[in-house]
Structure 1
Amino acid sequence: MTDDQDRPRAAAAFDALGAEYEKAFAGSREHRHSLEWLLARLAPGSRVLDVGSGTGRPTAETLADAGHEVLGIDVSPVMVELAARQVPAATFRCADVRDVPLEDGSFDAVCVYFSLLQLDRREQTDLVRRLVRLLRPEGYLVLATVPLDVEGVDAAFMGQPVRVTSFPAQELVALAEDAGLEVLAEEASMFTPAHPDARPEPHLFLHCRRTGQPRMG
């Protein structure tokens, strides 16, 4: 399946889930801890990019409520509509983040919570490198994923068909470091979404700071 075919497939899955996704993941203490980690380091009025912003909760809402300027980008029109209604203090755009013109060095932080899994490994690597370039020097990037050694696997996520690609934890850390990030903290856990079709899944949160430019290669 080509990338152009994968994009609407990913959007359709999350359109179908809508608010159910927010309910299923509302109990993630690790996600809340990750946001607290970021909030403790951001200067007042920081500009934050939320990649794969979903319904706007908890990420965009938590950051906007703390007085930060949040831009959320998501491929799902249903998610973006929900987010705009639920978090009016933030700005949301329905788009693939790879297609949105954004200025290098224009964000104090970037959040990437579970939004890489629909991309293949080369696309994930390229996107993380681009997101690092969007950060100001010493800016923060928080990345969460399901750390599995899988590539292009067709699966069901909360009853919806998805194609999943990920990296094992050690390779994800190496990807972040090669992109010009210093990994300041890691948190690994098991989490079961509150949904009848959900299964326990490993979660990994990387809390990083931009220290340089992506390495060549």
Structure 2
Amino acid sequence: MDKSNGYEAHAATFIRCRSKGIDGVGATSVRQWATALPPNAVVLDAGCGMGLPVTRALLDAGATVYGVDASPSMVRAFRQNFPDIPVACEPAEDSSFFNRQFDAIIAWGLLFLLPEKKQDVLIRKMADALVTGGKLLFTAPSREMKWEDAITEIESVSLGAEKYKQLLTESGLSLVEEFEDEGENHYYHAVRL
């Protein structure tokens, strides 16, 4: 069973599409979000892929980063790009990294790849792994919808803004803001109470 939701089979395509380094879609938004993190923040990049541009933006902001991705090919590329950063090859929702605490967690382009129940599980695990005042940033469309992923052609599911807000609240998080980037990715920024 492919725990990477089809991304292992399409890793080369994804890597080619996202290999714009520090200037890829979302990089500016992640860099701006990272400016509000405490100095030397410890951050988990859930669904880190090859680490570009999200991990790079976090490192540039002075964060200590951990990565997790279920695609072995993505993890190999991540290790080539960032040989000194801990990265685990496992599904984010099953990650052993959730046995520790983080100042912040980011899940860029990940949540909607998972079925609804796994999205719920992952949001709760991310919330539990945040220190008090810790920040969560994830992307998912604001509308409730289903579509075929452009790369894998596997169904993606957005639960919609109201459901995500409900899950955040139930998990002990408070929504700080929602915004969109230049690629029309919708962001949810929450903080642990």
The answer, yes or no, to whether TM exceeds 0.5 is yes
Q: Which of 1 and 2 has greater Rg? A: 1
- What is the distance in 1 between the residues matched to 2:36 and 2:54? 15
Query: C-alpha deviations, 1:62-101, integer Å up to 9, x for none?
Result: 2123332111100111111111111234222211123222
1:53 aligns with 2:48: yes
TM-score by length of 2: 0.86
Q: 2:155 aligns with which of 148, 163, 185?
A: 163
8 Å contact 2:20–2:53 — kept in the other structure? no
Alignment correspondent of 1:139: 134
- What is the distance in 1 between the residues matched to 2:162 and 2:124? 17
Q: What is the number of residues matched between the two proteins?
A: 192
Query: Alignment RMSD, CA only?
Result: 2.4
Task: Give the Å deviation of 1:174.
Answer: 2.5
Alignment correspondent of 2:190: 208
- What is the distance in 1 between the residues matched to 2:144 and 2:2? 20
- Structure 2: where are the runs of 5+ without partners? none
5 Å-filtered alignment, 1:53-202, equals: 53-102=48-97, 106-151=101-146, 155-158=148-151, 160-188=152-180, 191=183, 202=184
1:11 aligns with 2:3: no
- 3-state SS in 2 of match to 1:48: strand
Alignment correspondent of 1:194: none
8 Å contact 2:19–2:52 — kept in the other structure? no
- What is the distance in 2 between the residues matched to 1:184 and 1:8? 30
Identity of aligned residues (%): 24
8 Å contact 2:4–2:91 — kept in the other structure? no
Change (3 A) 1:209 1:11: same
The amino acid of 1:208's aligned partner reads A
- 3-state SS in 2 of match to 1:7: coil
8 Å contact 1:48–1:111 — kept in the other structure? yes
The amino acid of 1:178's aligned partner reads E
TM-score by length of 1: 0.77
Q: 2:16 aligns with which of 14, 20, 34?
A: 20
